[in-house]
Amino acid sequence: MRDRQPFVTYFFLLACVAIFAVETVMGGSTSTAVLVRMGARFAPLVTFGQWWRLFTAMFLHIGIVHLAVNMLTLWFIGRMTEEIFGHWRFAVIFIVSGIVGNYAGLLFASRNVVAAGASTALFGLLGAFLMIGDNFRHNPAISAMTKQFLLLIGINLLFDITQSGIDIAGHIGGLIGGFLIAGVLGAPQIGRIAPVKRVIMGVVLVVAPVLLYFLDGGVGL
């Protein structure tokens, strides 16, 4: 019998909390110097070659409220996503979405912003649910669930627009990345996705960031 405990969700949650504790010990989670030292996304350093920041930034948080909101979201949506997609698919969706979201933020946000947080990955989980809704829309239960998630996404994006200091490009990038990588991986517990469609989504996921990189002039290089 498959292990139904969402241990990957618990791992990501504990990792974020533990890293936040380290931030606090090192001088505070709102300290720009601490954030940069620990791997936050900072465009000048990323384009200088520190691309690993697109990964590490998703585990850092700026202030206790930022951490609490993201961890509460991860607690609820993460467990549901892991149950639907399985452990390893969920882990891949979370990580790829976070990286894609941070890449989008790198391209479209201010180069002087120090960005951090799991929200790029969390928006990717929402994108994964949109993928399910798109491919299995004839299932009444899935259709109803998708409408709820569309409302949640709309509320979050509206909040992004009306607030300053929010990485809306990162959130939208994570949402799109989650949709695409979830389509590539599929959701065998729910049903079958046409192989051609999965390949197309995989090609878009790989080719689009490369094209954007060159259109942006090498991300400012």
**Domains of the chain, start order:** 7-215 (1.20.1540.10)
- Please tell me the distance from the alpha carbon of residue 167 to that of residue 62, in angstroms, as a whole number: 13
Q: At what angle do helices 119-135 and 87-108 cross, to 10 degrees?
A: 120
- Please tell me the distance from the alpha carbon of residue 55 to that of residue 186, in angstroms, as a whole number: 23
Task: Encode the chain (221 residues) as per-residue pLDDT tens digits.
Answer: 456 799 999 999 999 999 999 999 999 999 999 999 999 999 999 999 999 999 999 999 999 999 999 999 999 999 999 999 999 999 999 999 999 999 999 999 888 899 999 999 999 999 999 999 999 988 888 888 888 888 888 888 888 787 777 889 999 999 999 999 999 999 999 999 999 999 999 999 999 999 988 887 665 54
Residue labelled with tokens 């498959």: 2
Residues 6+ apart with CB under 8 A from 89: 182, 185, 186, 187
pLDDT on residue 148: 86
- Please tell me the distance from the alpha carbon of residue 98 to that of residue 117, in angstroms, as a whole number: 9
**Which residue type occupies 204?**
V
pLDDT on residue 221: 47
How far from 142 is each of 43, 137, 139, 153, 207, CA to CA, in Å? Answer: 39, 6, 5, 16, 30
Question: Of these residues, 119, 138, 143, 164, which one is catalytic?
Answer: 119
pLDDT on residue 1: 43
Q: Are the C-beta atoms of residues 97 and 60 closer than 8 Å to each other?
A: no
- Rg of the chain over Cα atoms, rounded to whole angstroms, equals 17
Question: Of these residues, 61, 66, 87, 171, which one is catalytic?
Answer: 171
- Please tell me the distance from the alpha carbon of residue 171 to that of residue 89, in angstroms, as a whole number: 20
- Please tell me the distance from the alpha carbon of residue 5 to that of residue 205, in angstroms, as a whole number: 30
pLDDT on residue 78: 96
pLDDT on residue 218: 62
Active site residue 171: yes
Q: Are the C-beta atoms of residues 174 and 121 closer than 8 Å to each other?
A: yes
